[in-house]
Amino acid sequence: MSSNERMPDSIWRHMTQHQSLVGTSPAVMTQGEGCYLRNDQGRKILDGFSGLWCVNVGYGRQELADVAYEQMKKLSYLAPTMVSEPSVQLAAKIEQLLGTTMHVYYSCSGSEANETAFKIARQYHLQSGKSDGRRRYKIVSRYRGYHGATMGAMAATGQANRKLGYDPEPAGFIKVMPPYPYRDHQKLTLEEQGAEAARQLEETIIHEGYESVAAVIMEPVISGGGVIVPPDNYLPLVRQICDRYGVLLILDEVVSGFGRTGKMFGHDHWNTKADIYTFAKGLASGYQPIAATAVKQEIFDAFYGEPGDGREFRSVNTFGGSPISTAVALRNIQILEDENLVENAARQGDYFRAQVADRLSEHPFLGDIRGKGLLTGLELVGDKATREPLDQGKVTAVIAHALQEYGVIIGRNGNTVPGRENTLIIGPPLVSTETEMDRIAEAIAGGLETVLSIN
């Protein structure tokens, strides 16, 4: 097939270099059940990535299909200026899980949830009477963090390769380094690393002029940037700093929410509350496109005013809070609770990391094993002493071998930091058992040995 001819399929796939696919026939996925996908060739594949960390309750849930069907018959769509029974119930459930009075704004993706959070933060400061006479508009985020693909969310994302070709990005987005225990100064203890990263955040807020800073956004555990787990003192210190300077704290729970890390929310590991939370992915386990931005009462109150005075939140999302998506999300949360899937994520994640450590801790390419629940990062290095990242081609080869020889999908921190896209990312559905954990560990071991043998 010549370069001018079209590929057999007309889909422009996400994050894909299509030239490498010219002349090939794409495998079409036809069915999913539990932790597994099946393609049109009849091959059964273990999804160790939950789609994109979203199919938390597993594929093929009849009860979620039934909920969607019944809701479609009853009320399929409602303008987002109105409310439906499932949208009200879901907001109340999110409020209950967060353990404090909250108000929920619905959208359809994590990117939109974060864009919404930025808009709310900026408008809140304008209307709260606490802006110290200056406009607070700057958003501080962290390198390696991911917050979405829309222009504002991408500007907050600290992954250089995500932004190639899209500059200049919107003004007002500032980056700081996160704590990164594997690569921080090794003479520092974990507690010292957490304190130093928090100090750098505080210094950035001061030097930017704290009166100009609207919010800090961060994932409790950096996910796509390499599964970077902070020291235990870090998030509480961030909360203190935000309070000290009147800066809102936005916690991006798009990946870490709804059981992924072995607790209902990632921030639960550190008993730290945010002013604004963002959710998507596991909220409905990928069965419907839905996202949510939840704000505390004080923020919501700043939007009260007289009709026509412009104090209302002037934003709209056509499909936000659809009766179908909210009904499915509500049933999805019930499944998480009824089947103890959050606890299973904690148990299986610990088991998996122990299996990898037992099999591979001495492997020359494995530098670090880290994670919470069923969100694990395995950082691959070319030299354990210097911690030089493993060559990108070899990382890709490990992933390809796992799929080709073992039928296991695993991910990596692709399109992040140039030369440092060397972390395998594993995040299977929360219904996983030790059988799946063993198979993923075996696939990774096989991939590493194959690459080592041709090194």
For residue 217, list its beta bridge partners. 250
Count CB-CB contacts under 10 A for residue 243. Answer: 11
Q: Would you give per-residue pLDDT tens digits along the chain (455 residues)?
A: 344 444 457 888 787 777 777 667 678 899 999 999 999 999 999 999 999 999 999 999 999 999 999 999 999 999 999 999 999 999 999 999 999 999 999 999 999 999 999 999 999 999 998 766 679 999 999 999 999 999 999 999 999 999 999 999 999 999 999 999 999 888 999 999 999 999 999 999 999 999 999 999 999 999 999 999 999 999 999 999 999 999 999 999 999 999 999 999 999 999 999 999 999 999 999 999 999 999 999 999 999 999 989 999 999 999 999 999 999 999 999 999 999 999 999 999 999 999 999 999 999 999 999 999 999 999 999 999 999 999 999 999 999 999 999 999 999 999 999 999 999 999 999 999 999 999 999 999 999 999 988 76
Distance CA 150, CA 109 (A): 10
What's the confidence (pLDDT) of residue 7?
41
Helix (H, G, I), strand (E, B) or coil at 173: strand
pTM assigned to the model: 0.95
Distance CA 449, CA 194 (A): 35
What's the confidence (pLDDT) of residue 13?
78
Distance CA 438, CA 36 (A): 15
Counting every residue written for the chain, the total comes to 455
Phi and psi at residue 410, to the nearest 5°: -130, 165
Sign, Cα dihedral of 361, 365, 369, 375:
negative
234's enclosing H/E stretch is helix 234-245
Q: What is the b/e burial string over 183-212, where b = at least 16 CB atoms within 10 angstroms of the residue's CB?
A: bbeeeeeeeebbbbbbeebbebbeeeebeb
| Composition of the chain by helix, strand, coil, percent to 5 | 40, 20, 40
The pair of three-digit structure tokens given for residue 326, joined into one six-digit string:
């909210």
Q: Are residues 147 and 114 in contact, defined by beta-carbon separation less than 8 angstroms?
A: yes
Q: Helices in 261-419 by DSSP H: which ranges?
A: 297-301, 323-338, 341-360, 392-406
Of 224, 237, 223, nearest to 266 by C-alpha is: 223
The beta strand positions in 150-285, using DSSP E, are 173-176, 213-218, 248-252, 276-279
Place of tokens 């961030």: 238
Q: Enter the DSSP assignment of 390.
A: P
* Residue ranges of domains in the chain, CATH in brackets: 18-57+340-453 (3.90.1150.10), 63-338 (3.40.640.10)
Distance CA 224, CA 375 (A): 10
Distance CA 443, CA 426 (A): 12
Distance CA 44, CA 28 (A): 12
What amino acid occupies position 225? G
Q: What CA–CA distances, in Å, run from 232 to 154, 210, 238, 340, 387?
A: 27, 25, 11, 25, 24
Count CB-CB contacts under 10 A for residue 440. Answer: 26
What's the confidence (pLDDT) of residue 16?
78
Distance CA 46, CA 43 (A): 10
What's the confidence (pLDDT) of residue 9?
72
What amino acid occupies position 454? I
Q: Are residues 17 and 396 in contact, defined by beta-carbon separation less than 8 angstroms?
A: no
